[in-house]
Chains A and B, each alone.
Chain A
Amino acid sequence: MSKKNNTKFTIIRALAAMGIALLVAFLLILVSADGAGVGEKFSNSIKALREMLVSPLFRKNGTFSMKNFSDVLAGMIPIMFTGLATCIMFSANQFNLGAEGGIMLGAFVTAVVAIYAPFDGPLLMVAAVLAGGLAVAVMMLIPAVLKATLGVSEMVNSLMLNYVIMYVLNFLMNSYLADTSKGITQTYAFKEKALIPQMINNGSRLSWGFMVGIIMVVLCWLFMYRTRWGYGIRMTGINQPFMMYSGMNVPMIIIISQVLGGFLAGMGGGIEMLGRYNVYNWSALPGYGWTGITVAILSGNNPIFVPLAAFFMSYLTKGCTLMSTNANVPAQLISIIQAVIFIFFAAQQFLSRYRQKLVVKSAQEELAAKKAAEAGEGGNA
Chain B
Amino acid sequence: MNILTTDFFFSIIRIATPILLATLAAVIGEKGGVSNIGLEGIMMMSALFGSLGAYWTGSWLAGLLIAAAFGIVEALLMGFFAFNLKTNIILVGTAINMIGSGGTIFLVKVITNSTMGQSLTSTTSLITKSLQIPSVQIPLIKDIPVIGPVISGHSVLTYLAFLLVWVTYVLLYKTPLGLNIRSVGENPNAASSVGVSVMKIRYITIGIGGLMAGLGGAYMSMYYAMGWSLDMVAGRGFIALAAQSMGGGEPVGSMLAALVFGFAQALGIKVSATGVDSNLVAPIPYIVTILSLVVFAINQRRREKKRHASALG
Using a CB–CB cutoff of 8 Å, the interface residues on chain A facing chain B are 28, 31-32, 95, 97, 142, 146, 150-153, 155-157, 159-161, 163-164, 167-168, 170-171, 174-175, 287, 290, 293-294, 297, 329-330, 332-336, 338-340, 342-343, 346-350
Contacts and interface: CB of A to CB of B under 8 A. Distances in A.
B301 A150 contact: yes
A156 B110 contact: no
Contacts, number: 135
Interface core residue of A155, A343, A349 (most chain B CB under 10 Å): A343
Given A163-B235, A287-B102, A297-B91, 20 more contacts: A150-B301, A151-B297, A152-B297, A153-B293, A156-B242, A156-B293, A160-B242, A160-B289, A167-B280, A167-B283, A174-B277, A290-B94, A290-B98, A293-B94, A332-B103, A332-B106, A335-B102, A338-B102, A339-B95, A348-B85
A349 B277 contact: no
Contact of B85 (A294, A329, A332, A347): A347
Interface string B77-100: 000010011111011101111110
Given A150-B297, A156-B293, A343 B238 contact: no
A153 B245 contact: yes
Interface of B: 37, 81, 84-88, 90-92, 94-99, 101-103, 105-106, 109-110, 113-114, 119, 234-235, 238-239, 241-242, 245, 277, 279-280, 282-283, 286-287, 289-290, 293-294, 297-298, 301
Contact of A334 (B102, B113, B119): B102
A336 B110 contact: no
5 contacts: A31-B110, A155-B90, A293-B94, A343-B87, A347-B85
B87 A347 contact: yes
Contacts of B119: 330
A325 to B, nearest CB: 14
A152 B97 CA distance: 22
Contacts of B99: 335-336, 339
Given A32-B114, A152-B297, A156-B242, A335 B290 contact: no
A348 B89 CA distance: 11
Given A160-B242, A163-B235, A335 B101 contact: yes
Contact of B279 (A95, A174, A329, A349): A174
